Amino acid sequence: MGSSNLTESGLTKNHEWNYFSNSESNLILKDNLSAFQYAQQEYNDYWEHSSIPVDEPFIAAYLPRWKKAHELRNKVSQEMASTFKSTLEPRPAQIQALAALADRRLKGINKTTVIAATGLGKTYLAAFDFKNSGMKSILFIAHRENILNKALETFRDVMADPSFGAILSGNHKVPATSSCIFATVQTFSQTNTLAHYSETAFVKWSN
């Protein structure tokens, strides 16, 4: 099971199962099976008929491919990091997205979604858009603290401010007055955390 995504493969080929509450396990889909039972049936079918044993011959055949892909990913990541660090200028695809976001703000649209493939710089895009928007507060949410650390580093680079923002997680607490927060969903969704923030706490504009 993987994260849901609006890509061609995600919409036409991949099989993904999502549950939001215990009550959904009783939802009947078809063939008199609950949503959980249907997903379990599909999983068992994959396990019994489509899986490959991860044994020594498989690892020996797969390892060279993994090393090559790993080296390529590292090279691309280093090149991208070097480019962003040296110029901090939006890339062509990001420029197009930034223009679309700015246009929506001018039209009074206050909700939108950006969909982009892995590696196209969505976090940098978010940072560039925040810088361009005139906003002075942001709530950035992720499910892991290491993602937040990387995102905060990106925003600090774009904003040219090493003190920009703060991490809010089980390991880090921030004052309730903080207006730029990078929070884990697990911590921010807690009732005692939400109680510190109004519904408009993160819609502040710069003068």
What is the four-CA torsion angle of 69, 72, 74, 76, rounded to 10 degrees?
-140
Arithmetic mean of pLDDT, 19-37: 66
Contacts of 44 (CB under 8 A, 6+ apart): none
Do the bridges between strand 166-168 and strand 180-184 make them parallel or antiparallel, or are there none, so unpaired? parallel
Per-residue model confidence (pLDDT) at position 1:
38
At 45-69, the pLDDT tens digits run 989 998 888 999 999 999 999 999 9
Q: Identify the pLDDT of residue 166.
A: 93
pLDDT tens digit string along 173-200? 887 667 899 999 999 999 988 888 888 8
- Give the pLDDT score at 141: 94
pLDDT value of residue 207? 42
Question: Please, what's the b/e burial string for 104-139 (b: 16 or more CB within 10 A of its CB; e: otherwise)?
Answer: eeeeeeeeeeeeeeeeebbbbbbbbbbeeeebebbe
Whether the pLDDT of residue 153 is over 90: the answer is: yes
Say what the pLDDT of residue 28 is.
62
Task: Give Cβ neighbours of residue 125 (< 8 Å, ≥ 6 apart).
Answer: 90, 94, 97, 98, 114, 116
Query: Mind giving me the DSSP string for 127-154?
Result: HHHHHHHTB--EEEEESSHHHHHHHHHH
Domain boundaries, the chain: 8-49
- Mean of per-residue pLDDT scores for the chain: 83
The predicted structure's pLDDT at residue 32: 79
- For 2-20, what is the mean pLDDT? 69
pLDDT surpasses 70 at 86: no
Q: What is the pLDDT of residues 67-81, one digit of tens each?
A: 999 898 888 877 766
The yes-or-no verdict on residue 23 having pLDDT over 90 is no
Q: Residue 181 pairs with which residues in a beta bridge?
A: 139, 166
Question: Which pLDDT belongs to residue 196?
Answer: 86
pTM > 0.75: yes or no? no
